[in-house]
Amino acid sequence: MQYIPGLAGVPATESQISFIDGQKGVLTYRGYDIQELAEYSSFEETTLLLLFGELPTAEKLEHFDKQLRENRRVKYNIREIMKNLPSTTHPMHMLQVVVASLASFYPSTEYMKGGTENQEYINDVTVKIIAHMGTLVASWEHMRNGYDPIEPRKDLTYAENFLYMLNGQEPDKDWARLLDAILILHAEHTINASTFTTMVTGSTLANPCSVISSAIASLSGPLHGGANQKVIEMLDEIGSPENARPYIEQRLADKKVVWGMGHREYKTKDPRASILQKLSNELLAGKSDKLSESFATALEVEKVCEELLGHKGVYPNVDFYSGILYKEMGFDPGLFTPIFAVARSAGWMAHWREQLQNNRIFRPTQIYTGKGTACYLPLEER
């Protein structure tokens, strides 16, 4: 029996949802290239594609979109839970707690009898969770600053409503489209750590709100989704392009990782990083002649890392350029990973449903490296 740390390269499931070619830098959802989806699809349509495997008809999309819009409001009692959290609570911790608490409001007794027989419950809770995610994140931004949250609106798309709930102003169409593309790019990524968490928790037939809460916890770590906040903090610390080289050299000498670099699956640049870089470039070019300091610094960090880490197959991942866009859009860094979670709820729900269709509890084995048989000694004899 061979132990593979981090299960690198070990297949833990079969899945039809997405595909990565890590050598060529390709990512597809249900066969559709991510570049095409980011350009032409919407978060709502991509979510349906991930959940059901096909691009929806106009009628199916309209129906799903309507359901999402109707499920944006959260119950008063859920807000009360949020109000009782310290204002210093990181938005990812709030999200983990509050999504877990949804299990009390949307219990799953029928579903928990096992399997996929209660399709209506599965569909309803899928919509409820995805629709609530954006509301919770945008509401907490106001609540943690001492204000009442802004009520969601039904006449806006998912991305527009999120911007509206954050700013209280009519959402700018260009920015909503940009956020929509960002949500599409983050919606799914095969069996990464948080999706694997979803599948492991889901395989015990736990309540889906608990399943997604566990996935949120997994995403929050800085080696996974939490890296996007770390990247912007790092870029701010570097300050300007000329500081990039000494900063990176020192980090590597100290055996520290460079945030937003490296990936288990990609041995070339993450295709999502390339798209986000292009979007940043377009956004910043439209605003001023000069690149923003963060973007210029990021370009220099990428250049230095290619020189120092390229031979190890370490290149920018999705988290490297997203923060620059968020910063430019005026989002607080605490929101970066939660926005990732909002988008990824689509992929998590798709994998949860796929897991249920052919469920077997995850229960791998281990190689025991502890002591041999030991005799219990009473406390006074030790």
Ligand X SMILES: O=C([O-])CC(=O)C(=O)O
Q: Within positions 293 to 322, which residues make up the interface with ligand X, using CB under 6 A?
A: 317-318
Binding mask of the shown chain, residues 98 to 127, with x at each position contacting ligand X by CB under 6 A:
------------------------------
Which residue, 27 or 314, has its beta carbon nearer to ligand ACO? Answer: 314
Is residue 341 within the footprint of ligand ACO (CB under 6 A)?
A: no
**Is residue 21 among the annotated active site residues?**
no
Is residue 225 within the footprint of ligand ACO (CB under 6 A)?
A: yes
Annotated active-site residue in 132, 186, 189, 263? 263
Return the one option of ligand ACO, ligand X, none that residue 265 interacts with (CB less than 5 to 8 A, by type).
ligand X
Is residue 185 within the footprint of ligand ACO (CB under 6 A)?
A: no
Binding mask of the shown chain, residues 255 to 294, with x at each position contacting ligand X by CB under 6 A:
--------xxx-----------------------------
Is residue 223 within the footprint of ligand ACO (CB under 6 A)?
A: yes
Give Cα separations from 359 to 202, 232, 354, 356 (angstroms).
Answer: 9, 40, 8, 5
Residue pair 382/223 in contact (Cβ under 8 Å)? The answer is no
Is residue 310 within the footprint of ligand ACO (CB under 6 A)?
A: no
Closest by Cα among 261, 249, 254, 257 to 298: 261
Is residue 260 within the footprint of ligand ACO (CB under 6 A)?
A: yes
Strand partners, 20: 27
CB 182, min distance to ligand ACO, A: 13
Closest by Cα among 200, 205, 212 to 108: 205
**Is residue 90 among the annotated active site residues?**
no
Cα 16 from chain centre? 19
Is residue 189 within the footprint of ligand X (CB under 6 A)?
A: yes
Closest by Cα among 263, 250, 196, 251 to 223: 263
Strand partners, 27: 20
CB 76, min distance to ligand ACO, A: 34
Q: Which residue ranges make up the site for ligand ACO (CB under 6 A)?
A: 6, 223-225, 227, 257-264, 309, 312, 314, 317-319
Q: List residues with catalytic annotation.
A: 263, 319
